[in-house]
Amino acid sequence: MSKLYTMEEASKHNTKQDCWLILDGKVYNVTKYLDDHPGGDDVLVHATGRDAIEDFDFVGHSESARELMETYLIGELDPSSVLQEKATTTRQQQQQHTDQKSTESSAFTYWFISLAIIVISVIAGSLYFPSKDQ
């Protein structure tokens, strides 16, 4: 049975000195391949921390490239860690949305109170300091 890695663990390997890729739920240590990658090492490092199978497929890698990847296979991604990662991301997005609404609400409240103070000041001024025409 192959070793299971969590998304968090695999994501920590995100440098040119230590680079792991996740492709379709499988974990690859491609550190030794970085210098040989035809697209450059930055492309691989940029693809760390997530399942990069869409990027891999989009480029249109050959069958020999797919076979070469198998030599770097070190394990599989623990499916439960992916669900936890998605749940965490969803919670973070919800919190950001709530924070944004709170900020918008605070801005509205600020302007509403400012406008109310101005209106009250004008009314009070006209009652306490009537114009000289009257």
Whether 64 and 105 share a structural domain: no
Predicted confidence band at 87 (pLDDT cuts at 50, 70, 90)? Answer: very low
Residues 6+ apart with CB under 8 A from 38: none
User: Other CB atoms closer than 10 Å to residue 45's CB: what's the count?
Assistant: 20
Burial class (CB in 10 A: 0-12, 13-18, 19+), 6: middle
Q: Does residue 22 lie in a domain region?
A: yes
- Is the entire prediction scored with pTM above 0.85? no
Could you count the other beta carbons within 10 Å of the beta carbon of residue 21? 26
Number of domains into which the chain is organized: 2
Enclosing domain of residue 34: 4-77
Q: Is residue 84 part of a domain?
A: no
Same domain? For 32 and 97 the reply is no
Confidence of residue 92 (pLDDT cuts 50, 70, 90): low
